[in-house]
Chains A and B, each alone.
Chain A
Amino acid sequence: MIEWLVEPFAYNFFLRSMLAGMLAGIGCAVLGVYVVWRGMAFVGDAIAHTILPGIVVAFMLGINAFIGALAAAVITALGIGLLSRRSRLKEDTAIGVVFSGLFALGILLLSKTGSYQDLTHILFGNILGVSWGDFWGVTIVIFIVMAFVLVFYKELLVTSFDPGHALAIGLSPELIRYGLLLLIALTVVTAIQTVGVVLVIALLVTPAATASLLARELPHIMLLGIVFSILSTIAGLYISFYVNVSSGASVVLALTAIFILVFLLAPGRGVLWKLVSRT
């Protein structure tokens, strides 16, 4: 058993990948709490998808993919805010228009320049291809996320719970929202290495959703979400290593499995728990 667990670490990329995946997962789990409780899942998904043209353009210009992805994510975050504010469109409509258009642009550009292999890596992740540069990028991003959440905890809390009260005491919920969107953009860019563009939303939403079934306070939900995220990253990487399947899909399915377990069995609130205790 121990041999089975240790064997992958003989490859020096395995530990690096696992650590990078865990860090990205931690960032996603923490921000995911706000994504879930503010109903921002669709925005998160859109930001993840519009990263594709950013990466492709960066590739074409010969600059770092991380920077291209980040620029695209930031532009999306700000663009969605502007578009829904300046027009009669509802926000989810604005998001739908912007994100599908940019995603299509990314596919188009990639079909001219890249290979199918590149597309697969961006769409579905390539956690075993994490370089030391990527690793330090992820570390810095997660440090920024944690610092922001700690420093602005009470502003994030009041604007999420009751934006009206925030306005009444002179705190702009829009300001906090833009800050949060920027952080989501940063974190999503780090997480596409692990799970890819298509599945990032699971990393953002599922740990927080699972933890919300169990805990009743934001900090507890964050901590539980981090635990679920780390467990799933470890499980997903082992499965991927031994069964030779997509690592991103494995991580997400591990997260989903935990969610289903909690949904059914959560003490006092789980579906099965209620059924059993009633009989």
Chain B
Amino acid sequence: MVRPGLANYGKAHTVAVLKDAPALSITDLSFSYPGSSLTALDHINLVMRPGERVALVGPNGAGKSTLIKLIAGLEPEPDRGSILIYGHPRSACYHRVGYVPQRNDIDWQFPVKVRQVVMMGRYAHIGWLKRPGTADREAVDRALEMMDLTRLASRQIGELSGGQQQRVMLARTLAQDADLILLDEPLNNLDVPTQEMIFHVLEALAADNRTIIVSTHDLGILPIHFSRAIFLDRRIISDGPVDEVLTAETLARAYGVRLCTDCPDDEDGEPPSHADSLRQPNDIYRQQP
């Protein structure tokens, strides 16, 4: 598990943009966790053009988080296949990729303030042995402003509400000035106003030609905010316009009922909980009466 550490951290400015390269190009990617014989991701092919917004949906244990972490560089090199980001291998492009983790992945008691967390987005550009400069502080100010966090900037992060915490993580990615933005279940347990605010910012980013992938098991919000959806269950089951991807078959598959006989079992994934299987279809009916 040797990962590049010294070579690319903080070298944002040295990587040129390849002309006409897709924002993300995944070719024949397969991945299994070290020490596990189960295939977490199986022959994934995916191309996204700059400015595109995609919802990554699928049942629990389908590999949504794994795929996002692979693209972001949080997992070791895949068993086979390649991931190209703006035409470059991912190790050359770290600064271009912004990763917003699930809220449970963060220790919110950690003694750090909102502004310092947002500044961490700038570390991608600052690099070793340097301190944040005026440009970095201005970028942080703008990100705080955009996420309506300016007056909370000197709060310890544990003092914030769940929605405010999620906004801090997104502000960090804004400050990073990333071109490919990956959000892992960003809508979990958020109130509707915060969800709307996050969507508003994502729309603004897409208008600015940023490419966005959002993983979610909350299908209710999809039809409104995304044009393209990818249904993942270790393999890509379907990929296309939202209303074509979210068919009765895929929904049944996502929430308990198995319609295909050759699909891989969910042995190491968490089985969909009863709460999920009961709640989710209702949400969809509410959105699509």
Task: Enumerate chain A residues within 8 angstroms of B106, measured Cβ to Cβ.
Answer: 161-162
Given contacts A85-B1, A164-B99, A216-B113, contact A171 B123 (CB under 8 A): yes
- Find out whether the CB atom of A170 lies under 8 angstroms from the CB atom of B73: yes
Cα–Cα, bound, A186→B8 (Å): 29
With a cutoff of 8 Å between Cβ atoms, the chain B residues found around residue A217 in the complex are 111-113, 116, 156
Assess whether A175 is in contact with B6, with CB atoms less than 8 Å apart: yes
- Cβ-defined contact, B101 with A162, below 8 A: yes
List chain A residues, Cβ under 8 A from B94.
168-170
Q: Per-position contact with B for A208-237: 1 when CB-CB < 8 Å, else 0? A: 000010011110110000000000000000
Contact at A172–B111, with CB atoms within 8 Å? Answer: no
CB pair B111 A167 closer than 8 Å: no
Residues of chain B within 8 A (CB-CB) of A278 are none
Is B111 within 8 A of A218, CB to CB?
yes
Name the residue among B5, B97, B105 with the largest chain A CB count within 10 angstroms: B5
Q: Does B199 contact A (CB under 8 A)?
A: no
Partner of A170, one of B95, B107, B156: B95
Contact A164 B5 (CB under 8 A): no
On whether the beta carbons of A168 and B99 are closer than 8 Å, the reply is: yes
Contact partner of B73 among A151, A155, A168, CB < 8 A? A168
Interface status of A90 (Cβ within 8 A of chain B): no
Residue of B at shortest CB range from A87? B35
The reply on A274 being an interface residue by CB < 8 A is no
| Assembled-state Cα–Cα distance A218/B7 (Å) | 28
Q: Does B110 contact A (CB under 8 A)?
A: yes
Flag if A170 contacts B111 (CB, 8 Å): no
Instruction: Tell me whether B219 is interfacial, beta carbon within 8 Å.
Output: no
- Does B279 touch A at the CB level, under 8 Å? no
Instruction: Kindly supply a per-residue 1/0 record for chain A positions 196-218, scoring 1 wherever the CB is within 8 Å of any chain B CB and 0 otherwise.
Output: 00000000000000001001111
B111 and A169 within 8 A (CB)? no
In whole angstroms, what is the CA distance A172 to B72 when docked? Answer: 13
Q: Which residues of B contact A154 (CB under 8 A)?
A: 120, 123, 126, 131
Cα of A161 to Cα of B98 in the assembled complex, Å: 16
| Bound-complex Cα distance A165 to B124 (A) | 10
Residue from A88, A162, A165, A216 within 8 A of B111 (CB atoms): A216
- Among B8, B9, B111, B129: residue with most chain A CB under 10 A: B111
Residues of A with C-beta under 8 A to B206: none
Alpha-carbon separation in the docked complex, A88 to B128 (Å): 33
Q: In the complex the two chains form, is A158's CB within 8 Å of B120's CB?
A: yes
Give the distance to chain B from A37, nearest Cβ to Cβ, in Å. Answer: 6
B110 A161 Cβ-Cβ under 8 A: yes
Contact with B along A143-179 (1 / 0, CB 8 A): 0000000010011011011101101111110110000
B100 to chain A minimum Cβ distance, whole angstroms, is 9
Knowing A165-B99, A170-B5 touch, does A151 contact B116 (C-beta < 8 A)? no
Minimum CB–CB distance from A240 to chain B (whole Å) comes to: 33
Q: Could you tell me the distance between the alpha carbons of A24 and B100 in the complex, rounded to whole angstroms?
A: 39
Partner of A157, one of B3, B116, B131, B172: B116
Contact digits for B124-136, partner A, Cβ 8 Å, 1 yes 0 no = 1010110100000
B105 contacts A164, CB within 8 Å? Answer: yes
Q: Measured between alpha carbons, how far is A165 from B110 in the docked complex, in Å? A: 15
Sample of 19 A–B contacts (CB below 8 Å): A154-B123, A154-B126, A161-B112, A161-B117, A164-B105, A167-B72, A167-B74, A168-B73, A168-B74, A168-B98, A169-B95, A169-B176, A170-B4, A170-B5, A170-B8, A170-B10, A170-B73, A170-B91, A171-B123
Q: A151-B129, A165-B99, A170-B11 are in contact. List 14 more A-B contacts (CB 8 A).
A: A155-B123, A161-B107, A168-B94, A169-B124, A170-B7, A170-B8, A170-B9, A170-B10, A170-B73, A172-B3, A172-B9, A175-B5, A217-B116, A218-B112
Interface on B for A, CB 8 Å cutoff? 1, 3-11, 35, 69, 72-74, 91, 94-95, 97-99, 101, 105-107, 110-113, 116-117, 120, 123-124, 126, 128-129, 131, 156, 172, 176
